[in-house]
């Protein structure tokens, strides 16, 4: 009985699965699949983008409509990120530190945007703020434009990226517990001091991880934004929408040039994510 | 330099964690809060620290009502069970934290903070570790750093939550003796929580025994051990044998034993429980008539100077645990399966009965 686990482990090294004729085809299959589905498309974006040379590439990006799309994307994702950062922190704090009625409901609701199709998310805002929507008449009376304008795009982006920071923080803060924070309070720290000296340094990597995921998603969001934007060139077009318009106009070089920017964001996101994972992984080992 | 807790009650939903507890801790005294898990001892400690607030009752620290004061204002030292060292700070920064967060006008200069921290590191004998991070230290070392950090703010009271709970047996013993010596040196009122009766009885000046949120007894280790207030305290402070019996017209009948009731208050007829510690069980080869129980020796655990015996009452089949000197064991020539006669030298009965 006691020696059993040892025998299993020794046998493990000569397991059938380790035979080369099983191992290599599996690796080959996985790599081929990845090449075809992930690497080739990504590479094609950059190849197509530079197909007509540097000049066309730069022109496509320097185009006023493209620049306006970049600005709008950065504005919308910047606001969405800030809001969801604050909300994520507040929600994670409330859920990991207090017990209250409706806590489980809140945890489930945070995941809602992940379950809802982005198009539906966009339609929700049309139903609320559209001319025939619940608040449509009132908004129209007061001359407030939400749909087909920047506020609508920001709202849709916030909705879609809502869960990322909170979902990252909640399990982490729950696992970490409150003892260190209590220790800081007993030692005479003010609640703010406790937050900035103890809480924030402890959660910084999960927070950054959540922020990275959130911003990548915010910049890339298409469906929800497409519904509320109205596709007004130079005004309510975000980068993904701009790509679609260019593509539909058979302006492939320009479409891929702008798409390459978004792909670059994705690659950078992946790299940063990897760095964070390595860092936190190493910390985890030591602790 | 004192703590006074007056009629404190704390509920979590329908669960009453601390139920109308009052106690006092004098200056320079080391008090142990002893009890099983869920007895409310940690909640009581956390209320004294200001990490939890009572539903009713009041807490006086150094004769000042501190019931509503937050933790930062109470200036107590608190040592957490799992140390709660700041993992992203060095040992030096951990100890310095309490000094650095003071308002500017009360804050020491940089060099004074340095001196103070080094002095504390010397006190806990870990000078060489100032630049290390908490995860590079052993459990015992972390606990000492946690203590040094708590002492840095010069608290007038020191509170420790199961300070040795997470340590292995040997380090535990060393560290609790060291804590006792340290306490005698710095001499501030201290309260520590433990579920280990040996620890409480060895280290503390006084022991408060808690059960289900109620204070069962408070007194010196000698007092609570020799004169337990009730069956719970008696049972919690050490191994115990239970004898089920009956009281019948002033006589106590337990198994084959029959004796005069010794209570000063008249006893109601009915079932009763007698208690005796394993070392209070006498064993002999000859029957003592109505004063002994006929038992069979089932097991012998013979390592060390004392021999532990597991016996079974032949009449009632109840198990009896006895502990005798090795010399006596040899004299009696006991073997497994032998039939012997057992008598408790000191059979206690408590008026209010507890189900154990």
Cα distance from N-terminal residue to C-terminal residue, chain B: 38
Inform me whether the C-beta atom of residue A179 falls under 8 Å from chain B C-beta atoms.
yes
- Alpha carbon B146 to its chain centroid, in Å, reads 21
Name the closest residue on chain B to residue A187, using Cα atoms: B98
Q: In this complex, which of B76, B102, B135 lies closest to A186 when CB atoms are compared?
A: B76
pLDDT band at B272 (very low <50, low <70, confident <90, very high): confident
Residue A192 pLDDT more than 90? yes
Inform me whether the C-beta atom of residue A197 falls under 8 Å from chain B C-beta atoms.
yes
Name the closest residue on chain B to residue A183, using Cα atoms: B84
The stretch B280-293 carries a mean pLDDT of 83
CA–CA distance, B153 with B103 (Å, rounded to integer): 13
Helix ranges (H only) for B50-168 are 71-74, 91-100, 110-123, 139-152
The model's pLDDT over B169-215, given as tens digits with 9 standing for 90+, comes to 888 888 888 889 888 888 889 999 999 999 999 999 999 999 999 99
pLDDT band at A11 (very low <50, low <70, confident <90, very high): very low
Inform me whether the C-beta atom of residue B82 falls under 8 Å from chain A C-beta atoms.
yes
- Give the pLDDT score at A135: 87
pLDDT above 90 coverage of chain B, percent: 50
The model's pLDDT over B16-55, given as tens digits with 9 standing for 90+, comes to 999 999 999 988 899 999 999 989 999 999 999 999 999 9
- Give the pLDDT score at B57: 94
- Give the pLDDT score at B266: 53
- Give the pLDDT score at B315: 82
Q: Are B204 and B172 in contact (CB under 8 A)?
A: no
Of residues B143 and A22, more confidence is placed in: B143
- Give the pLDDT score at B305: 86
Rounded mean pLDDT of chain A? 86
Contacts of B75 in chain A (CB under 8 A): 188
pLDDT band at A9 (very low <50, low <70, confident <90, very high): very low
Residue B343 pLDDT more than 90? no
- Give the pLDDT score at B4: 93
CA B170 to chain A, closest CA, distance in angstroms equals: 23
Residue B356 pLDDT more than 50? no
CA B344 to chain A, closest CA, distance in angstroms equals: 43
The model's pLDDT over A172-186, given as tens digits with 9 standing for 90+, comes to 999 988 999 999 999
Inform me whether the C-beta atom of residue B107 falls under 8 Å from chain A C-beta atoms.
no
pLDDT band at A21 (very low <50, low <70, confident <90, very high): confident
Residue B113 pLDDT more than 50? yes
B241 burial type by CB count under 10 A (0-12 exposed, 13-18 middle, 19+ buried): buried
The stretch A198-207 carries a mean pLDDT of 91
Nearest by Cα to B148 from A178, A183, A199, A192: A183
Interface ipTM > 0.90? no
CA–CA distance, B111 with B109 (Å, rounded to integer): 6
CA–CA distance, B18 with B12 (Å, rounded to integer): 10
- Give the pLDDT score at B132: 95
Helix axes A64-97, A150-161, angle to 10 degrees: 40
Residue A190 has φ and ψ, to the nearest 5°, of: -75, 160
């Amino acid at each position: 009985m006691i020696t059993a686990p040892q025998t299993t482990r020794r046998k493990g090294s000569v397991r059938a699965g380790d035979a080369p004729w099983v191992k290599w085809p599996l690796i080959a299959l996985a790599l081929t699949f990845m090449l075809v589905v992930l690497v080739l498309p990504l590479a094609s974006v950059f190849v197509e983008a530079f197909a007509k040379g540097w000049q066309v590439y730069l022109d496509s990006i320097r185009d006023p409509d493209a620049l306006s799309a970049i600005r709008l994307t950065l504005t919308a994702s910047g606001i969405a990120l800030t809001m969801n950062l604050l909300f994520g922190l507040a929600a994670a704090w409330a859920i990991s530190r207090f017990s209250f009625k409706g806590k489980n409901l809140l945890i489930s609701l945070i995941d809602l945007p992940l379950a809802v199709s982005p198009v539906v998310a966009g339609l929700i805002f049309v139903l609320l703020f559209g001319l025939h929507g619940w608040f449509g008449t009132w908004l129209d009376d007061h001359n407030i434009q939400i749909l087909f304008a920047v506020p609508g795009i920001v709202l849709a982006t916030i909705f879609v990226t809502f869960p990322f920071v909170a979902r990252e923080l909640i399990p982490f803060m729950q696992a970490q517990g409150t003892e260190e924070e209590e220790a800081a309070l007993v030692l005479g720290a003010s609640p703010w001091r406790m937050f900035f000296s103890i809480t924030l340094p402890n959660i910084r990597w999960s927070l950054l991880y959540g922020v990275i995921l959130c911003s990548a998603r915010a910049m890339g969001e298409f469906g929800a934004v497409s519904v509320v934007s109205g596709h007004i060139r130079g005004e309510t077009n975000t980068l993904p929408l701009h790509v679609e318009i260019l593509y539909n106009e058979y302006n492939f070089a320009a479409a891929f040039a702008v798409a390459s920017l978004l792909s670059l964001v994705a690659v950078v996101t992946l790299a940063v994510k990897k760095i964070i994972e390595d860092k936190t992984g190493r910390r985890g080992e030591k602790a | 330099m004192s703590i006074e807790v007056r009629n404190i009650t704390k509920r979590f939903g329908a669960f009453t964690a601390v139920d109308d507890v009052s106690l006092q801790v004098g200056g320079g005294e080391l008090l142990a809060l002893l009890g099983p898990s869920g007895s409310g001892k940690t909640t009581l400690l956390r209320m004294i620290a200001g990490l939890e607030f009572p539903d009713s009752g009041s807490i006086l620290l150094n004769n000042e009502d501190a019931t509503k004061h937050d933790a930062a204002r109470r200036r107590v030292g608190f040592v957490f069970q799992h140390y709660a060292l700041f993992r992203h700070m060095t040992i030096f920064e951990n100890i310095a934290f309490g000094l650095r967060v003071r308002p500017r006008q009360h804050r020491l200069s940089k060099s004074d903070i340095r001196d103070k921290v080094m002095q504390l590191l010397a006190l806990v004998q870990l000078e060489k570790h100032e630049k290390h991070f908490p995860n590079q230290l052993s459990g015992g070392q972390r606990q000492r750093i946690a203590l040094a950090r708590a002492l840095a703010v010069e608290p007038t009271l020191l509170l420790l939550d199961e300070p040795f709970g997470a340590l292995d047996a040997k380090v535990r013993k060393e560290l609790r003796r060291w804590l006792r010596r340290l306490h005698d040196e710095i001499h501030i009122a201290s309260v520590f929580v433990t579920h280990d009766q040996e620890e409480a009885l060895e280290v503390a000046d006084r022991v408060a025994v808690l059960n289900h949120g109620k204070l069962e007894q408070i007194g010196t280790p000698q007092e609570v051990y020799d004169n337990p207030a009730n069956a719970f305290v008696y049972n919690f402070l050490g191994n115990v044998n239970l004898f089920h019996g009956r009281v019948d017209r002033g006589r106590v009948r337990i198994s084959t034993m029959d004796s005069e009731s010794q209570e000063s208050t008249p006893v109601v007829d009915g079932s009763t429980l007698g208690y005796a510690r394993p070392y209070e069980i006498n064993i002999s080869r000859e029957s003592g008539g109505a004063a002994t129980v006929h038992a069979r020796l089932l097991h012998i655990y013979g390592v060390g100077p004392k021999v532990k015996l597991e016996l079974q009452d032949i009449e009632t089949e109840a198990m009896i645990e006895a502990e005798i000197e090795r010399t006596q064991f040899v004299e009696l020539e006991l073997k497994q399966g032998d039939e012997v006669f057992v008598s408790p030298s000191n059979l206690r009965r408590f008026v209010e009965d507890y189900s154990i």
